[in-house]
Amino acid sequence: MVTDPDDPVVSGAVNLRDVGGLPAGAAVTRHGVLFRSGNLAQLDEHGTAALGGLGLRRVIDLRADDEVAHAPSRIDGLEIVTQRVPLFLGSVESFFADDISLDEMYRQLVDDSSAGVVDVVRGIVTDQPVLVHCTVGKDRTGVTVALTLAAAGVDLDAVVADYARTEGLLPEWRNRRVVQLLRAMHPEATHLEDLATRSPAPVMQALLDDVTARFGSPADYLRAHGFADDEIAELRRVLLRPL
């Protein structure tokens, strides 16, 4: 697992990082504004305190009801608004059972959960600092954060690289255990390891290219689903600082 010394240290949190410092033309993303991670169910006392030390005002949880019930966030005692935006219309299990590719999953997410994606971006604009998370912080979080950053004007190479970082931040022991469990249930699945453990840069590049081809740009994708021009301007003001 490869970590960055600038990533926050929150014991029990997986794949938690600040998206500050990404290039955006003549600007850069602000530190301490937008964080992303996997679930918060394994935080210990020190981890909860460290999370509180980030000054978060809002946590946006992209998980389905059954995931939340199985692994509730350990943030009791923190004065944080929790915004629930379940993004998958089907269950997580269904993606493994149907053996779809990451490309297919992401296309379904942007097409079928567009209202949810807009709700997430509105939540980011409403309160900062803000943390967006799902179970692993790879797919739902990866897609929504990528669209948010791209719509704000972050260089697309940097958006893709931020998404791709996840693969190196997932603990090897976790990957082995998850793949073993899933393989026992779906022995013939072709895309299982990609779905469970990988975040390949070409997959996110293809998604952003597809969104641009169909809508004009990631910002235009948000506009097409109800995000207003003044909200786009506010997103850029919130996330970016001039160099």
CA atoms within 13 A of residue 225's CA, in its CB half-sphere: 22
Cα distances (Å, whole numbers) of residue 206 to 66, 116, 129, 165, 190: 30, 21, 29, 17, 20
Largest CA distance in the chain: 51
For 49-68, what is each residue's pLDDT tens digit? 999 999 999 999 999 999 99
Please name the amino acid found at residue 59.
Answer: V
Query: What is the number of helices (H) and of strands (E) in the chain?
Result: 13, 8
For 187-226, what is each residue's pLDDT tens digit? 988 999 999 999 999 999 999 999 999 999 999 999 999 9
Residue 71's pLDDT is 95
Q: Are 41 and 72 in contact (CB under 8 A)?
A: yes
Helices (H), 20-137: 45-52, 65-70, 92-98, 102-112, 114-126
**Closest to 16 (Cα-Cα) out of 27, 29, 25, 3:** 3
For 42-51, what is each residue's pLDDT tens digit? 999 999 999 9
Residue 158's pLDDT is 98
For 169-178, what is each residue's pLDDT tens digit? 998 988 999 9
For 18-37, what is each residue's pLDDT tens digit? 999 999 999 999 999 999 99
User: Domain map of the chain by residue range?
Assistant: 17-237
Q: Are 132 and 141 in contact (CB under 8 A)?
A: yes
| Tokens 């971006």, located at residue | 121
Tokens read off for 97: 């059972």
Model's pTM, two decimal places?
0.94
**Closest to 21 (Cα-Cα) out of 40, 2, 1, 35:** 35
Average pLDDT in the 74-92 region?
Answer: 89
Residue 133 has pLDDT above 70, yes or no: yes
Task: Give the C-alpha separation, 181 to 75, whole Å.
Answer: 28
| Tokens 């998850």, located at residue | 178
Give the model's confidence band at 92: pLDDT under 50 very low, under 70 low, under 90 confident, else very high.
confident
Q: What is the dihedral of CA 143, 145, 149, 151, to 10 degrees?
A: 60
In this structure, the number of other CB atoms found within 10 A of the CB of residue 174 comes to: 16
The domain defined by 17-237 folds into: Protein-Tyrosine Phosphatase; Chain A (3.90.190)
Residue 2 has pLDDT above 60, yes or no: no
Average pLDDT in the 73-83 region?
Answer: 95
| Tokens 């190479």, located at residue | 157
